[in-house]
Amino acid sequence: MLRKKPLFAALATCALLLSACGNANDSKSGSGAASPSASAKASEKPSNVELRMAWWGSQERHDKTLAAIELFEKQNPNIKITAEYSGMDGYFDKLNTQIAAGNAPDLIQMGGNIMEYVGRNALLDLQPYVGNAIRLEDFDQSLINEATADGKLYGVTLGVSQTALLFNATMFNKAGVPVPNGESWTFDDFKNSALQISEKLGKGFYGSYDLSSDNASFTTYLAAHGKELYRSGELKFDKQDVVNWFSMWDELRQAGAIVPAEVQVANPPDAVDKSLIVKGQVAIQGASASQIFGYQALTEDQLGLLPNPAGPAGNGMSPPVSGQFITSYEGTKYPEEVAKFMDFMVNDPEAAVILGSTRGVPPSAKIRDALSAESTPVDKILYDYISLATKISTGNGYEHFPYDNEFIKLLKLTSEKIAFGAASIDSASEEFMTEMQKMLARANQ
Amino acid sequence: MGKYKTYLAGYAFLLPWLIGFFALTLGPIIASLYLSFTKYDLLTSPEWIGTKNYVSMFTDDYRLKDSIWVTMKYVFLSVPVRLSFALAIAMLLNQGLRLLNLYRTIYYIPSLLGGSVAISVLWKQVFDKEGVFNQGLAMVGIEGPAWISSPSYAIYSLIGLSVWQFGSVMIIFLAGLKQIPTELYEAATVDGAGKVRQFAKITMPLLTPVLFFNLTITLIQSFQTFTKAFIISGGSGGPINSTLLYSLYLYIKGFTFLDMGYASAMAWVLLFIIAIITGLLFLSSRYWVFYSDGGK
């Protein structure tokens, strides 16, 4: 009976397969740059090419991307693209496993963590294709820099975005609460709006989600108070900041202005179809600006975007950055075709119309101009928001904490402990600091 | 020569299993033992760090403590309840009912579906704060709590789901019950023993080998539970780690935090825990498991 260990065996199996393939990868990347092999492969000119493409997003993005792929296949009958799409949940878990096993998709959508994968030699160097297959002339240089390391390009940005507060304007109107002026609003304004909305609309309606567990909101809050989460190997905040953060949310919680813990666990804001903002029960939540399309597609209510409220040191937001990149797996067999599709996604006018701004404001100035004629009201909200954010952002860029995923989970755990009343703000904040210090020590070893 | 041929034929028939065992089970097990002594992030090559993974498991991992506590609670509540439930249903079905096969099938269905993602998703809907279960309670005037999303109840919804999948255990019990000779009951009835006494003195003792088997299997399965906790908590083990079963935490460590070395070490510790508990169970079995043939 002891032999029956399916889970354990499965894990061990993965581990073995992974380690074997990991070695294969190492030897490959050690043998030299990607360009000579790329040209060798190009000379074969395969008649039928099958590519795989992975991305995450909401249904709205899936539909648009699938339509764009269909158009591409029509223009290039010898190329077939198999779509592997999902929600954000588990996307990177799966990708990591695929990369380690050596069978990652040829085309991979990446987020702000692109450099992590560059560092692990998982992504294809696209530099040989820049200027011919991939045209970047109409791109802002900063967007190209974001995906460049050691003079090599590893990704093509698909859109510009920024973290934002997504709000339900219809609820503001119903409650008779004026929509705040994003350029000047402060944390006090935020609190007042949340309190008023929940008070006016009554039981079951809330001014805001409980964003104390939201890592983007927390880091922006720190910046708005002249602090930072992390920079150059150090934590740039102390326990008092954490206590202040959770106290602010606790005050709103006691007043019934934010979503109670149980309801939030059952209806997490980041699940588009569960979000109560879509159901008109919660007025504010955190999101990446370009996600507004996914949420707006599910509701009749009018949604909008606001920047984070300002603190004594400004609003602490970082300037808008590339929200997502299209990258290629280092082991792809068809780099030429991959490059062609990347270019298609960002430079083809027809594809641009299909894709719209589902991954943020398109990076190419030419495409932006072409799109402005066709822009929808939601496009306009996004564009206006991005220009506002560019204008008012005071933060100087977010430096990723070395164990970002663990920090995100820890913040959520701390927030839940306080929200469910399982720990006092003081002891939970103390524990938060201790664990952050431990992670830091591990990173600096 | 003939004998040699027979052996060869035997091994030839065993070959598929042997290949499977050596290539897909034994090799990976050894690899994971090696990995448990390394720092391995899946994408770059493993780096030897000695027993550090094991040391930090026991010295400074607050999540692991939560996780072990939750897992123990899950195992030691769900196993007895599941077994008693299965036994009760098996005895009910052993009354010489007509349409027995039909009932047996119906009660077995949850076990067929139970491991699946779909059932976990369904369970999540049913026991949601506004779910069907609470709506039912509301009809009789009870306001049910949020079974899934409250840290005090979430683990019980997992235990409930596990108990509901009593089918395979029940089938084995039912087979065991059918093995008990009816003469024993007839003789006992003649001697004036009531139903309760018959259960205690005839059914239970003769059923102990089956019970032992079911107990061992269910215990091991429970320690390894993953799917339910993963789906119902949305992969987080929350709220407040209340559904962070050991295997789920192992997964999070390996695939979310990319600490595959640590996850491998956790797998070995789990193996050890299961081995000890199963070992104790086997040792104890000589005192309570009764084999009518003397266990030969």
Q: Please determine, for the modelled complex, whether the ipTM score is greater than 0.85.
A: no
| pLDDT for the residue A22 | 37
Residues in chain A predicted with pLDDT less than 50, given as ranges, are 1-44
With CB atoms and an 8 Å threshold, state whether B24 touches A262. no
List the single residue in B40, B151, B267 with the smallest CB-CB distance to A12.
B267
| Residues A216, A400: Cα–Cα separation, whole Å | 11
Determine the residue of chain B that is closest to A6 in CA distance: B224
Radius of gyration of the CA atoms of chain B, in A: 23
Give the best residue of B256, B273, B282 to mutate against chain A (max A CB count within 10 A): B256
| pLDDT for the residue A318 | 81
Element (H, E) at A286: strand A284-288
With CB atoms and an 8 Å threshold, state whether B43 touches A413. no
With CB atoms and an 8 Å threshold, state whether B151 touches A422. yes
Determine the residue of chain A that is closest to B221 in CA distance: A5
Determine the residue of chain A that is closest to B42 in CA distance: A100
The CATH number assigned to the domain with range A163-317+401-444 reads 3.40.190.10
User: Peptide bond preceding B239: is omega within 30 degrees of 0, i.e. cis?
Assistant: yes
| Residues B175, B210: Cα–Cα separation, whole Å | 9
> Which B residues, 124 through 153, put their C-beta within 8 Å of a C-beta on chain A?
128-129, 146, 148-151
Contacts of A11 (CB under 8 A, 6+ apart): B32, B250, B254, B263, B264, B267
Angle at A70 between CA A66 and CA A72, to 5 degrees: 115
Amino acid (one-letter) located at B220? I
| pLDDT for the residue A395 | 65
What is the CA A440 to chain-centroid distance, rounded? 23
B269 φψ region: left (φ > 0), alpha (ψ -120 to 50), beta (else): alpha
With CB atoms and an 8 Å threshold, state whether A12 touches B28. yes
Largest distance between two CA atoms of chain B? 80
Give the best residue of A3, A4, A5 to mutate against chain B (max B CB count within 10 A): A5
List the single residue in A14, A22, A416 with the smallest CB-CB distance to B240.
A416
Identify any residues that bridge with A157 across adjacent strands, giving them in sequence order: A325
With CB atoms and an 8 Å threshold, state whether A96 touches B257. no
| pLDDT for the residue A145 | 84
| Residues A227, A211: Cα–Cα separation, whole Å | 18
| Residues B235, B245: Cα–Cα separation, whole Å | 11
With CB atoms and an 8 Å threshold, state whether A5 touches B224. yes
Q: Does B155 touch chain A (CB under 8 A)?
A: no
The CATH number assigned to the domain with range A47-158+323-390 reads 3.40.190.10
How is residue B171 written in tokens? 């089938």
Give me chain B's average pLDDT, please. Answer: 87
Residues on chain A touching B31 (C-beta within 8 angstroms): 12, 15-16, 19
For A381, other C-beta atoms within 10 Å of its C-beta total: 20
Residues B273/A33, Cβ–Cβ less than 8 Å: no
Residue with tokens 């929808």: A376
Determine the residue of chain A that is closest to B233 in CA distance: A265
- Parse chain A into domains and list their residue ranges: 47-158+323-390, 163-317+401-444
> Is A278 strand, coil or helix?
coil
Contacts of A360 (CB under 8 A, 6+ apart): A158, A159, A160, A161, A288, A289, A290, A322, A323, A324, A382, A386
- Residue B249 exposed, middle or buried by CB count within 10 Å (0-12, 13-18, 19+): buried
Residues on chain B touching A16 (C-beta within 8 angstroms): 27-28, 31-32
Give the best residue of A3, A4, A14, A430 to mutate against chain B (max B CB count within 10 A): A14
Amino acid (one-letter) located at B35? L
Residues on chain B touching A409 (C-beta within 8 angstroms): 236, 252, 256
Element (H, E) at B201: none
| Residues A347, A364: Cα–Cα separation, whole Å | 7
Alpha helices in A52-186 (DSSP H): 59-75, 91-101, 114-119, 141-145, 169-175
Per-residue pLDDT of B220-242, as tens digits, reads 999 999 988 998 888 888 789 99
We find that the CATH architecture of domain B60-288 is: Orthogonal Bundle (1.10)
Contacts of A133 (CB under 8 A, 6+ apart): A336, A339, A340, A342, A343
Determine the residue of chain A that is closest to B274 in CA distance: A2
Amino acid (one-letter) located at A301? D
| pLDDT for the residue B222 | 93
How is residue A209 written in tokens? 């989600």
Please report how the helices B117-126 and B100-114 are oriented relative to each other, as an axis angle in degrees rounded to 10. Answer: 90
| pLDDT for the residue B77 | 94
| pLDDT for the residue B255 | 86
Question: In angstroms, what separates the C-alpha of B21 from chain A's closest C-alpha?
Answer: 10
Determine the residue of chain A that is closest to B247 in CA distance: A7
C-alpha distances out from residue A30 to A23, B39, B48, B120, B295, Å: 11, 21, 21, 45, 61
List the single residue in B29, B151, B226 with the smallest CB-CB distance to A420.
B151
pLDDT top residue among B172 and B148? B172
| pLDDT for the residue A45 | 53
Q: Tell me the average pLDDT across B63-71.
A: 92
pLDDT top residue among B95 and A176? A176
